[in-house]
Amino acid sequence: MIDAGALRARLADVRARIARAAGRAGRDPASVRLIAVSKTFPAEFVRAAAAAGQIDFGENKVQEALLKMDQTADLAFGDSPTRLAGVGILVALVALGIVPWLAYAVDMWAANREGRPDSDITNGIDHYAVQGALGLALAVLPTLAALRPALTPLAPVCAGIAAGYLGLVSFAWEDAAGGFGRTWSAAAMAWGLCLVAVSLTAAVRRSRRAAVD
């Protein structure tokens, strides 16, 4: 049983605390974005919170978030449609990928400096250096998109496609220079697919809302 009155009271209390903290920091309270953590809660709780005026919700499990997106697609509060899951899942994917991709980039640059005999040179450029730059891009682009939603879906979709392709090539030729074994190749493909799915789903939902408005 959802106590709508208690939910509204708790939400009002949180907003009042935000307003006081913003006032002490000399900030406009409206510039603070309140994200309610809705993971593990059913869609009915999202609906109740939305009815109390909450707009943004955060999830970190892709399957649960996509299901909840469908179950709450009709929600809106005033002129602002309820936003569910996009930022939370994207942040979770960034957290999963940033360290492995940065480690991959550092490893490739180290190999480039060593001048290994298995190096492949094209137009005077060592492929190890290119692989390192790709690893850095796969760490940075989703991070920027998580910090700047305006970069979604282009930046994370590009990163997801590149990660999936790199994982596929590495899986097929695991002994090739710059490859990273079957397990990490499969992980790269799964990470890339999730990144694309989350970003495109959020973009489609925004387009549908814009069409309704």
Three-state SS sequence of the chain: CCCHHHHHHHHHHHHHHHHHHHHHHCCCHHHCCCEEECCCCCHHHHHHHHHCCCCEEECCCHHHHHHHHHHCCCCEECCEECEECHHHHHHHHHHHHHHHHHHHHHHHHHHHHHCCCCCCEECCEEHHHHHHHHHHHHHHHHHHHHHCHHHCCHHHHHHHHHHHHHHHHHHHCCCCCCCCHHHHHHHHHHHHHHHHHHHHHHHHHHHHHHHHC
> Is 185 in the same domain as 99?
yes
> Is 107 in the same domain as 76?
no
Domain that holds residue 68: 4-84
Residue 174 domain flag: yes
> Is 98 in the same domain as 166?
yes
> Is 137 in the same domain as 186?
yes
> Is 106 in the same domain as 21?
no
Total of domains in the chain: 2
d(C-alpha 141, C-alpha 97), whole Å: 11
* 87 pLDDT above the threshold of 70: no
Q: pTM (2 decimals)?
A: 0.62
Structure confidence at residue 193 (pLDDT): 95
Given 51, 84, 117, which residue is the final one in a domain? 84
Structure confidence at residue 20 (pLDDT): 93
> Is 70 in the same domain as 28?
yes
- For the stretch 46-80, pLDDT in tens is 888 888 888 888 776 666 776 777 777 776 544 44
* 99 pLDDT above the threshold of 70: yes
At 83, is the pLDDT very low, low, confident or very high (cuts 50, 70, 90)? Answer: low
Given 32, 53, 84, which residue is the final one in a domain? 84
Residue 207 domain flag: no
Given 45, 69, 84, which residue is the final one in a domain? 84
Query: Is the torsion defined by CA of 89, 95, 96, 98 positive or negative?
Result: positive
| Comparison of pLDDT for 110 and 178, the residue scoring more | 110
Structure confidence at residue 188 (pLDDT): 96
Residue 142 domain flag: yes
